[in-house]
Structure formats: structure tokens, C-alpha cells
């Protein structure tokens, strides 16, 4: 099937909207990006500095606002400077969501410049030519942000929880999870409405071994392009350009970017179990920073925090990395109990092991459920299953 020239493809182009957050960017600076040379009255006021941990900081007419901000939020993110778009729009949207929630709870944070957003480019953003598993796996999208937090360059760090390693760096805590978005994966394709409708030999693009293993387990006639990386807009552009027939993306991210018009269908949890902590935003601060901890306590959604703790206990027990296909999801059922499902698989999808647990929706019980489920699958998998 020639996906680059099909009539369906020509008639149904994916809408590749580079949506920017609706809130005004009135206090933003950038760490770790190589910025184009642009001259303007506002940018002439900016000076490039080196921070204490050795990365370049590009000021965007915000030097004074940075100094006076009550809260400095660190995040992966994007900013448009002339025609340059810097990754990742989704991370920046999550920072804006966090800012809006803080301002809604605390009137003193609504004045201009009270909250400053610091954009930090991470290792995972810089190396796009290789699969994640080949460049380290753990902490690829958090390490530089954690360093900025520990060194006092930012006050809080906004993370996609699925990117956060199961261990936290010393001197930091993660006391806050925002209300979780939809955890399911979205199927995006120009020629079919579902994975089941794709003809044999069709190529699905995904950098996730979790998605790859579950796709190949259920649809062994399909092929998977693993090195399918980039932000949401980049991956949709690759799809439109005919590099693959279809792709899967987290529905949560598409909702936060207001890009659900690109979704052909939403996969059920039975068809594709999500990544641990998918759809959850976590906010970290320094261990001894009581002021920031108090701000974050006002935003925490306890039901989400407990579910994420259960899933991460499962992941930690399995010692999961980007080389290990692992999925896990905990949620409150109709009776108010926790229902957890966990999965491990071989990368080629030939072996998939699953388990489930049910118990009280209480932190200690849920962490124990996650650990017990992980131990069961470790035992079932046996030596050598995880390949490293």
C-alpha cells in the first residue's frame, strides 16, 4: 500500500496545528536551547549567561521578572522566537495548567510576573536520532530539570509522571499530582479507523516498547517503526508525510494541546494498557522548601496521587526501564476500591504476562498491591525475560 500517494491520504490530511497556550507568555526564559540570532528592541535587552550548572541561559526580555517572581516553574517546553519552535509544546501546556491552578488558589500569584516559567531542554529533547532505549532510558526528560531545582534556579518542577524515574533525586520531593487526564491511547491514521482495520504489512510508528509489544502481540501481521520520536506535531507531520501508516499517541496529551481532531479512534484498556502514570502531571519541590510544599499541597489530587503511587510501586519492583515493555493502571472502582492491572511483555510481543489486584483505596495497601503484582510477574517471567 502506497500511503504517500493514496487518494484517502490526499483527501484527509492530518491537521497539524502548532497550537500555543492561550495564556500570554509574559515571563519565560530558556535553558539549554540554541536560539537563532534575532535582533529586536526587546531582545536587545537580553543577556546570555551561564548558570551554575554549566548550561546556557537565553533571556527573553524577562531578566527582572525572573528575579522578582514568587514562584519559578521549571519544565520542558516550547517557545516561538521568530520562526523557530522549540520543544515541547505539551510540556509547556502542562506548565501553564499548573500556573493557572496556582493562580486560582492563591490571589497573590495573579499579578504579572508573580509566576515565571523557566524552559529547560533535557537530554531526551536533544537526542532525537536514536530510540530512547539506546540513550539511557531513565531520567532522560527530567535530569536537567532536577538539577535546576536542586541548585535553586527554579522553585518547582512540572513533570509528566510517566517520565519520572521511580527514585527521586536527593533534596527533592514530589508531593503533588494534578487531576489525571484520560489514560488511554489514541489511534491516528489517514486510511483506517482502528489497528484491526490496517492491512497486513502496515507500519505503525511508535518509540514506545510498551505500545510495540502490545501491537505485535494482538496484530502480528503489522510492523512497527521504533525510532518514531519527536513532539506531537513532529510525529503527526511524519504520519502525513507517509513515513508510517499509523501511530499511537497518549490521548491526555492531545487533549491538553486541543488536538483531538486528529484521533481516528480511542483504544480500550483491554486493547492497549497504558504506561505507568500516563496522563498524570507531577510537581516537585526541594525537600526543605516549606513555602513551595504548601503551595503544592493546595493543588494535590489525592486520588490521582494514590493511583500513581500504586503503579510506580509496580514499576519499581520490576526495575523497569525504556528497554522493558511494562504497563500498569490503578483506578477507583464503583465500590470505592482500588483495581490494579499490570503487564510485562517481550519486545517482540510473543510473550505477554498480565496480573491484577483489588483492595482498599489506601496508600499503604495500594503500594503493597503494586509491589505484590510486580513480584508475581517477576516470578512468572523467570530469568532472562527482561533481557538486561
Contact status, residue 149 vs residue 172, Cβ threshold 8 Å:
yes
| Range list of β-strands (E), the chain | 28-31, 49-50, 56-58, 71-75, 80-81, 84-85, 115-120, 156-160, 172-177, 185-189, 203-205, 223-225, 246-250, 265-266, 281-286, 326-332, 338-345, 352-359
Virtual CA dihedral for 304, 310, 312, 314, nearest 10 degrees? -150
The CA-CA-CA angle for residues 153, 154, 158, to 5°, reads 145
Catalytic-labelled residue, pool 155, 163, 185, 289? 163
Cα separation, 289 vs 24, whole angstroms: 28
Q: Radius of gyration over alpha carbons of the chain, in Å?
A: 21
* 1-35 exposure pattern, b = at least 16 Cβ within 10 A, e = fewer: eebeeeeebeeeebeeeeebbeeebebbbbbbbeb
Q: What is the largest CA-CA distance in the chain?
A: 64
Q: Of the candidates 128, 157, 145, which has an alpha carbon nearest to the alpha carbon of residue 53?
A: 145
Q: How is 74-92 classified by DSSP, letter by letter?
A: EE----EETTEE-S-HHHH
Q: Report in angstroms the alpha-carbon separations of 366 from 256, 310, 312.
A: 28, 5, 10
| Range list of β-strands (E), 135-218 | 156-160, 172-177, 185-189, 203-205
Q: Is 290 one of the catalytic residues?
A: no
φ, ψ of residue 345 to 5 degrees: the values are -150, 160
Which amino acids are annotated catalytic?
Answer: 163
Amino acid at each position: 500500500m502506497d500511503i504517500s500517494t493514496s487518494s484517502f491520504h490526499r483527501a484527509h490530511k492530518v491537521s497539524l496545528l502548532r497550537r500555543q497556550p492561550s495564556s500570554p507568555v509574559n515571563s519565560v526564559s530558556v535553558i539549554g536551547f540554541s536560539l537563532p540570532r534575532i535582533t529586536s528592541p526587546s531582545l536587545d535587552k537580553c543577556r546570555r549567561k551561564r548558570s551554575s550548572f554549566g548550561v546556557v541561559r537565553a533571556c527573553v526580555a524577562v531578566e527582572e521578572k525572573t528575579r522578582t517572581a514568587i514562584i519559578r516553574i521549571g519544565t520542558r517546553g516550547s517557545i516561538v522566537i521568530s520562526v523557530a519552535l522549540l520543544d515541547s509544546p505539551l510540556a509547556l501546556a502542562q506548565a501553564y495548567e499548573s500556573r493557572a491552578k496556582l493562580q486560582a488558589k492563591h490571589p497573590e500569584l495573579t499579578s504579572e510576573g508573580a509566576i515565571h516559567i523557566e524552559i529547560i531542554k533535557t537530554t531526551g529533547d536533544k537526542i532525537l536520532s536514536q530510540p530512547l532505549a539506546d540513550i539511557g532510558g531513565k531520567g532522560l526528560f527530567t535530569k536537567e530539570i532536577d538539577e535546576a531545582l536542586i541548585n535553586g534556579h527554579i522553585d518547582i518542577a512540572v513533570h509528566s509522571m510517566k517520565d519520572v524515574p521511580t527514585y527521586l533525586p536527593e533534596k527533592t520531593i514530589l508531593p503533588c499530582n494534578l487531576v489525571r487526564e484520560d489514560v488511554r491511547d489514541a489511534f491516528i491514521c489517514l486510511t483506517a479507523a482502528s489497528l484491526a482495520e490496517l492491512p497486513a504489512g502496515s507500519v505503525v510508528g511508535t518509540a514506545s516498547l510498551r505500545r510495540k509489544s502490545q501491537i505485535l502481540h494482538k496484530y502480528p501481521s503489522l510492523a512497527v517503526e521504533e525510532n518514531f520520536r519527536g513532539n506531537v506535531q513532529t510525529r503527526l507531520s511524519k504520519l502525513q508525510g507517509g513515513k508510517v501508516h499509523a501511530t499511537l499517541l497518549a490521548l491526555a496529551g492531545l487533549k491538553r494541546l486541543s488536538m483531538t481532531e486528529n484521533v481516528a479512534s480511542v483504544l480500550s484498556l483491554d486493547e492497549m494498557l497504558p504506561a505507568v502514570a500516563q496522563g498524570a502531571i507531577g510537581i516537585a519541590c526541594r525537600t526543605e522548601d516549606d513555602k513551595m510544599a504548601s503551595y503544592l499541597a493546595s493543588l494535590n489530587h489525592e486520588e490521582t496521587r494514590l493511583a500513581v503511587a500504586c503503579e510506580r510501586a509496580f514499576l519499581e519492583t520490576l526495575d523497569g526501564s525504556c528497554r522493558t515493555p511494562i504497563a500498569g493502571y490503578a483506578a477507583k472502582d464503583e465500590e470505592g476500591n482500588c483495581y490494579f492491572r499490570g503487564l510485562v511483555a517481550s519486545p517482540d510481543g510473543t510473550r505477554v504476562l498480565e496480573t491484577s489486584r483489588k483492595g482498599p483505596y489506601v496508600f499503604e495497601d495500594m503500594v503493597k498491591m503494586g509491589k505484590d503484582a510486580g513480584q508475581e510477574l517477576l516470578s512468572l517471567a523467570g530469568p532472562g525475560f527482561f533481557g538486561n
